Structure 1
Amino acid sequence: MSANYAKGLSDYENKGVCGLQEIFESPEEVESKVELLSKWLTQSKCVVVYCGAGISTSAGIPDFRGPNGIWTQEKKGVKEDPEAKALSLTDCSPTVTHMALISLLKSKAIKFIVSQNIDGLFLRANIRRRHIAELHGNFFLDECTQCHSRFIRSTPSPTMACKVSDQKCMRWSRPCRGLICDTILDWDQDLPKNELKWADKYSRECDLAICLGTTLQIEPAGSLPFRCQRLNSGRVVIVNLQPTKSDTKADLVIHDFVDNVMTLLCKTLDVKIEAYDPSTDPTKTRVTTEWRR
């Protein structure tokens, strides 16, 4: 599905640096850094987590700029379709990282998540809407063009680029006259105002920004974590296998699988990671209902 998503985007040359070599730090070094991260986390008042495609690769969803990423392969001229090896979004389940973040939200260790991912795995992990801003859309959410209510889907949207359908708004109380569209952005489309508003609010309040599985190349998402340094003398932590252009600005960089780092972090904080439960997955139990903040 991420391959289909990439194909569905309009032509755009500036896709950033792709295919950088991955770095794996020693288990001892990773453990030491996670200990420091856990100390900072417990000292912080407002922890915001910024997520990219790297948190979903263990679910079977290809990333874009990794060594075998969709755009990396495209730049190499590789014709093999990554979709052939990828699971459909309907068949994917939230990863250890998704579930760890849900558990950390419930324990109030972190306050908010800003995601660039369109795969719907946070929704399927039953995150509350008030805890997340999805800047680039969600294949499992539609939106009304008039009242901007969002509605849960059971299957990924067949369209992209906020294409308007002929389906009327499904809001139960005081229905409006709006039409339903998908929420997936194309390159030249503005970020959704409501999502950006919440991402901006928490980025301004943040005193510890944790960046997971993102190369921080797409703006404005790539700059949001660093507001905490400027506004609140906060810290920025980057967890990513590849180096990023922002590593020199970060207070801590960890090169390891995000699932491993989140497992170690939750263990250090004595937070039990919940398992994904399909019976609480809104895409299976609350289809066409409004997803309220």
Structure 2
Amino acid sequence: MTRNSAEILAKWIGEAKRIVFFGGAGTSTESGIPDFRSAGGLYESGQNEFPFSPEEMLSSDFFYRHTETFYRFYRRKMIYSDAQPNPMHLLLADLEHEGRLSTVITQNIDGLHQKAGSRRVLEVHGSVLRNTCLSCGEEYGLDAVMGSEDIPLCSRCGGMLKPNVVLYGEMLDSNVLEASVRAIEEADLMLVGGTSLTVQPAASLVGMFTGGRLALLNRTPTPYDSHADLLVTEPMGEVAQQVRHLLGYK
């Protein structure tokens, strides 16, 4: 990212009144959480250890048919409880605190936006931090999953716990999608970061943005590049660090 690009982005942020951020796996890779298909990512590492593809193991059908294997994969490859927010997470939290950013919409399930201090976060694919008993509906945190060696069970009724993440074959939460659409339609600056914009229906949310400027931060090309007013292909953490400096954030 050139200094000029950083200055443009910082200028747009300073002029905006209602910023919305839409992010994917690339938002968290600099926090040590691998994305799905890059070299050394979830897909490659998962195939080396398990006889099923990650897509199959992260499906609703697999969860119910092979629950023990699901949780073994889930704990090994989907949980990064020691990960810390990177400069992009911190920039977004700063912007929310200042009243410029209205909403973070994320495809990630790691909870790092909240860890950085963001409060208005819409999690399109759910979160590893929340788990529900399928029998009585009791809610549990991540400790209930990580503290069990096999299938985590409800301490109240003994029922099986299920992570509140959207598995393949499940529907996205309509309330989250509706709130995301409203936030995008009301925004005057949309920042899109760390996503290939190929996963539907979440990626189609970007097409709902019709007002103001669109800045797209991604290492590789996306189907929406031609619609962006600014394209940035450098690492998001570096981008955010420069912008935070230009905006006077510490």
After TM superposition, the score normalised by the length of structure 2 is 0.75
- Check 1:151–1:236 CA distance in 2 against 1; reply closer, same or farther (3 A cut): farther
Is 1:140 the counterpart of 2:129? The answer is yes
Alignment match, 2:62: none
Q: Residues 142-199 of structure 1: CA distance to partner in whole angstroms, max 9, x if unpaired? A: 357799996643465699xxx9965669xxxxxxxxx964211112111113322321
Equivalent residue for 1:206, pick from 187, 205, 214:
187
Secondary structure of the residue aligned to 1:105 is helix
Structure number with higher helix proportion: 2
- Specify every segment of 5 or more residues in structure 2 that has no aligned partner in the other structure, as ranges: 55-72
Equivalent residue for 1:113, pick from 101, 104, 109:
104
Secondary structure of the residue aligned to 1:183 is strand
Number of residue pairs matched by the alignment: 223
Alignment match, 1:268: 246
Shift of 1:70: 2.9
Structure 2 counterpart of 1:96, one-letter code: P
Secondary structure of the residue aligned to 2:214 is strand
Structure 2 counterpart of 1:189, one-letter code: E
Q: Percent identity?
A: 29
Alignment match, 1:280: none
- Check 1:167–1:247 CA distance in 2 against 1; reply closer, same or farther (3 A cut): farther
1-side partners of 2:156 and 2:220: how far apart? 44
Is 1:79 the counterpart of 2:48? The answer is yes
Structure 2 counterpart of 1:79, one-letter code: N
Alignment match, 2:209: 228
* C-alpha contact (below 8 Å) 2:133/2:153 kept by paired residues: no
Shift of 1:69: 2.9
2-side partners of 1:90 and 1:126: how far apart? 16
Alignment match, 2:22: 50
Secondary structure of the residue aligned to 2:202 is coil
Equivalent residue for 1:190, pick from 171, 191, 196:
171
Secondary structure of the residue aligned to 1:195 is helix
1-side partners of 2:223 and 2:216: how far apart? 11
- Specify every segment of 5 or more residues in structure 1 that has no aligned partner in the other structure, as ranges: 1-26, 170-178, 273-293
Root-mean-square deviation (Å): 3.5
Shift of 1:126: 4.0
Structure 2 counterpart of 1:133, one-letter code: L
* C-alpha contact (below 8 Å) 1:141/1:152 kept by paired residues: yes
